[in-house]
Amino acid sequence: MSFIVSGPQGTAGYVNVTIAKSLIADVRELKVYVDGTEITYNVLPIGESWLLHFTYNHSARYVVINLGPEISLKTQLEIIAILSIIVILGGTFGSLYFLKLRKKKTNGKRINANHFVQVNVLAIVRVYKHPLS
Protein backbone atom coordinates (compact mmCIF):
# COMPACT_ATOMS: atom_id res chain seq x y z
CA MET A 1 0.00 0.00 0.00
CA SER A 2 1.42 3.41 -0.85
CA PHE A 3 0.27 7.01 -0.83
CA ILE A 4 1.55 10.59 -0.66
CA VAL A 5 1.05 12.86 2.36
CA SER A 6 1.70 16.59 2.42
CA GLY A 7 1.30 19.62 4.63
CA PRO A 8 2.91 22.97 5.46
CA GLN A 9 6.70 22.78 5.77
CA GLY A 10 7.88 22.56 9.40
CA THR A 11 4.68 21.04 10.82
CA ALA A 12 4.03 17.48 11.93
CA GLY A 13 1.44 15.06 10.62
CA TYR A 14 0.15 11.66 11.57
CA VAL A 15 -1.41 8.70 9.82
CA ASN A 16 -3.97 6.25 11.18
CA VAL A 17 -4.63 3.24 8.96
CA THR A 18 -7.10 0.48 9.77
CA ILE A 19 -6.15 -2.87 8.23
CA ALA A 20 -8.20 -6.08 8.38
CA LYS A 21 -6.42 -8.76 10.42
CA SER A 22 -7.14 -11.23 7.62
CA LEU A 23 -4.75 -9.29 5.35
CA ILE A 24 -1.76 -9.63 7.68
CA ALA A 25 -0.25 -13.03 8.43
CA ASP A 26 1.97 -11.66 11.24
CA VAL A 27 1.65 -8.04 12.42
CA ARG A 28 5.34 -8.09 13.46
CA GLU A 29 6.24 -8.39 9.76
CA LEU A 30 4.59 -5.04 8.98
CA LYS A 31 7.01 -2.39 7.64
CA VAL A 32 6.39 1.35 7.17
CA TYR A 33 8.62 3.53 4.98
CA VAL A 34 8.52 7.32 4.57
CA ASP A 35 10.55 8.49 1.58
CA GLY A 36 12.27 5.09 1.49
CA THR A 37 13.37 5.13 5.16
CA GLU A 38 11.86 2.57 7.53
CA ILE A 39 10.16 4.26 10.49
CA THR A 40 8.73 3.09 13.81
CA TYR A 41 4.99 2.85 14.30
CA ASN A 42 2.37 1.70 16.80
CA VAL A 43 -0.17 -1.03 16.17
CA LEU A 44 -3.29 -1.65 18.27
CA PRO A 45 -5.87 -4.43 17.84
CA ILE A 46 -9.41 -3.15 17.30
CA GLY A 47 -11.93 -5.96 16.77
CA GLU A 48 -11.11 -7.73 13.52
CA SER A 49 -8.66 -4.99 12.45
CA TRP A 50 -5.29 -3.50 13.32
CA LEU A 51 -4.94 0.26 13.84
CA LEU A 52 -1.57 1.41 12.49
CA HIS A 53 -0.42 4.84 13.73
CA PHE A 54 2.73 6.82 12.95
CA THR A 55 3.90 10.43 12.77
CA TYR A 56 6.13 12.29 10.31
CA ASN A 57 7.39 15.82 9.57
CA HIS A 58 5.50 17.62 6.83
CA SER A 59 6.37 18.43 3.29
CA ALA A 60 5.37 16.08 0.49
CA ARG A 61 6.21 12.53 1.66
CA TYR A 62 5.88 9.17 -0.07
CA VAL A 63 4.58 6.51 2.34
CA VAL A 64 4.79 2.76 1.72
CA ILE A 65 3.20 0.23 4.06
CA ASN A 66 4.38 -3.33 3.46
CA LEU A 67 1.94 -5.79 5.02
CA GLY A 68 4.52 -8.57 5.14
CA PRO A 69 4.55 -11.88 3.32
CA GLU A 70 1.28 -12.89 1.74
CA ILE A 71 -0.35 -16.18 2.66
CA SER A 72 0.46 -18.42 -0.29
CA LEU A 73 -2.23 -20.02 -2.41
CA LYS A 74 -0.94 -23.44 -1.34
CA THR A 75 -1.40 -22.51 2.34
CA GLN A 76 -4.90 -21.15 1.64
CA LEU A 77 -5.87 -24.37 -0.15
CA GLU A 78 -4.47 -26.47 2.71
CA ILE A 79 -6.53 -24.48 5.23
CA ILE A 80 -9.68 -24.89 3.11
CA ALA A 81 -9.03 -28.64 2.74
CA ILE A 82 -8.52 -29.12 6.49
CA LEU A 83 -11.66 -27.12 7.33
CA SER A 84 -13.66 -29.10 4.76
CA ILE A 85 -12.51 -32.40 6.27
CA ILE A 86 -13.45 -31.18 9.76
CA VAL A 87 -16.92 -30.14 8.57
CA ILE A 88 -17.48 -33.47 6.76
CA LEU A 89 -16.32 -35.51 9.76
CA GLY A 90 -18.41 -33.41 12.13
CA GLY A 91 -21.50 -33.88 9.96
CA THR A 92 -20.89 -37.62 9.64
CA PHE A 93 -20.38 -38.19 13.37
CA GLY A 94 -23.29 -35.89 14.21
CA SER A 95 -25.59 -37.87 11.90
CA LEU A 96 -24.42 -41.19 13.34
CA TYR A 97 -24.99 -39.91 16.88
CA PHE A 98 -28.49 -38.70 15.96
CA LEU A 99 -29.34 -42.07 14.40
CA LYS A 100 -28.06 -43.89 17.49
CA LEU A 101 -30.22 -41.70 19.76
CA ARG A 102 -33.25 -42.24 17.53
CA LYS A 103 -32.72 -46.00 17.64
CA LYS A 104 -32.56 -45.91 21.47
CA LYS A 105 -35.81 -43.90 21.65
CA THR A 106 -37.63 -46.48 19.51
CA ASN A 107 -36.22 -49.44 21.54
CA GLY A 108 -34.62 -50.92 18.44
CA LYS A 109 -37.97 -51.16 16.58
CA ARG A 110 -37.98 -50.05 13.01
CA ILE A 111 -40.42 -47.25 12.30
CA ASN A 112 -40.78 -45.09 9.26
CA ALA A 113 -39.98 -41.40 9.39
CA ASN A 114 -43.65 -40.36 9.02
CA HIS A 115 -44.67 -42.39 12.08
CA PHE A 116 -41.79 -40.89 14.07
CA VAL A 117 -42.94 -37.36 13.24
CA GLN A 118 -46.60 -38.17 14.00
CA VAL A 119 -45.70 -39.57 17.42
CA ASN A 120 -43.84 -36.39 18.28
CA VAL A 121 -46.72 -34.20 17.13
CA LEU A 122 -49.22 -36.19 19.21
CA ALA A 123 -46.98 -35.88 22.26
CA ILE A 124 -46.83 -32.12 21.82
CA VAL A 125 -50.63 -31.90 21.47
CA ARG A 126 -51.11 -33.94 24.65
CA VAL A 127 -48.74 -31.67 26.59
CA TYR A 128 -50.73 -28.62 25.57
CA LYS A 129 -54.14 -30.28 26.07
CA HIS A 130 -53.43 -31.64 29.54
CA PRO A 131 -53.20 -28.30 31.43
CA LEU A 132 -56.49 -27.19 29.84
CA SER A 133 -58.40 -30.32 30.90
For the segment 17-28, what is each residue's pLDDT rounded down to a tens digit? 998 888 887 888
For the segment 7-19, what is each residue's pLDDT rounded down to a tens digit? 898 899 999 999 8
Q: pTM for this structure?
A: 0.52
- Lowest-confidence range among 35-39, 45-49, 100-104? 100-104
Residue 122's pLDDT band (cuts 50, 70, 90): very low
Give me the pLDDT at residue 131, please. 46
Give me the pLDDT at residue 128, please. 41
Give me the pLDDT at residue 54, please. 94
Average pLDDT in the 106-110 region?
59
Give me the pLDDT at residue 62, please. 92
The more confidently predicted of residues 56 and 69 is: 56
The more confidently predicted of residues 97 and 115 is: 97
Please give, one letter per residue, the 3-state secondary structure of the chain.
CEEEECCCCCCEEEEEEEEEHHHCCCHHHCEEEECCEEECCEEEEECCEEEEEEEEECCCEEEEEECCCCCCHHHHHHHHHHHHHHHHHHHHHHHHHHHHHHHHHCCCCCCCHHHHHHHHHHHHHHHHHHHHC
